[in-house]
Amino acid sequence: MTFSAPQSVSTGYSRNDNKVLWWWESYPCGNRWDINFTGTSHRGILELDKSVYVNNDTIAVTLIDGGLIGQGTQAITLQSCADYETLALYETPANSGYFTGSIAVAYGAAIAEDGVIEASGSQSLTAAYEDADNGTGSSETIPAAAEIKPWFAIYSTDFAGGLPAGWSIVDGLSDGITWKMGQPADIHEEYRAYVSDHFMYCNSDAQQANLDEQLITPSLNCSALETVILEFNHLFRFYHLDNDEIGDVDIRVNGGAWQNLLRYEAVQDYSGVVQSDLTSYAAGQPNVQIRWRYYDAWWDYYWCINNIMVFGQYPVESIPSDLSGDCRVDIEDLVIFAENWLVHY
């Protein structure tokens, strides 16, 4: 990272919160300070926005290098096991030395230079660029590292075709007032933006009955997974004059007792995408079920459920003789083997 002499770079205004002031930031308080970088050089900074990426994620990359001010673009490389990609970063704003870019992560066999990072298992990810002057007058390869942990959906439904096979509904009072298919027109207009075209919902509005209704998934086989996540979209609308209805999300493993994961009580409305980590319950288990239970609801409003997905991660499969964990068998692995041989034998 090189600043051409002479060049003054403003840090912005002083502040007293012990946070670092970057040279592109400015804060309207205190005294203004300027730093003259005349004749100085510094190592560039390359950053990835996360430490772990999953399938269908986006890798956002940031590069800061004053020696590249005005260059407009800068190429970096990304490597993950067999995949190798070149990514163009763009200087934004112009003449700032601040570059950004992004690339998608997808599940599958690696295809070099196709504009996507493919991964079929957990692996390391390395980004790098060549800094022409790292502050010592020498060039240096500047790295940034993360991990890719692909996730696999083992079950999903959006209820567009109705209630899928294997689901069950328990009508608590056997009165027909229970979970059913819904559409936006079935709920109040001001809440329709929170739901999709098709969803399952339980409606206690204008029903003079104390509901206790259950919506239960089919048995899900999680025996091969080491991590399991539940994701769903919902709208829980409460009735402010009663404050009694409850929405529970529960899990049952191998036909055992139901265990509570999440609870929504009548103190506010709830909506949006929810994720719950099921790993401690479901990982390695062949028979897992999820239940949405709506109860203590008497003449209240409703609970809508949609876009349900259960996904997870398979255990890492190591490559034989890959002692360094870089997904390749090369001289580095031989060195590690030799060093351990000398230590232990």
β-pairing verdict for 83-91 and 73-80: antiparallel
pTM metric for this prediction: 0.56
User: Which three-class secondary structure state does DSSP give residue 81?
Assistant: coil
Q: Which of 288, 242, 232, 281 is nearest to 265 (CA)?
A: 242
pLDDT in tens, 128-137: 999 998 878 8
Predicted pLDDT of residue 108:
82
Tell me how far CA of residue 127 lies from CA of 54, 70, 80, 123, 322, in angstroms: 16, 22, 9, 13, 21
Cβ distance 151 to 313 under 8 Å? Answer: yes
Q: Please report the domains of the chain, with CATH numbers, ordered by start residue.
A: 41-149 (2.60.40.1930), 153-313 (2.60.120.200)
Higher pLDDT, 149 or 322: 149
Cβ distance 262 to 249 under 8 Å? Answer: yes
Q: Is residue 291 scored above 60 in pLDDT?
A: yes
Residue 43's CB is within 10 A of a number of other CB atoms, namely 14
With a CB cutoff of 8 Å and minimum separation 6, the contacts of 4 are: none
With a CB cutoff of 8 Å and minimum separation 6, the contacts of 64 are: 1, 44, 45, 97, 98, 99
Comparing 5-9, 155-159, 226-230, 257-261, which segment has the lowest mean pLDDT? 5-9
Q: Which of 96, 88, 46, 93 is nearest to 68 (CA)?
A: 96
User: Which three-class secondary structure state does DSSP give residue 197?
Assistant: coil
pLDDT in tens, 29-49: 344 444 444 444 578 999 998
| Length of the chain as a residue count | 345
pLDDT in tens, 178-212: 998 887 777 767 667 767 778 898 888 766 667 89
User: How does DSSP classify residue 192?
Assistant: G
Token pair 């319950």 is at which residue?
A: 281
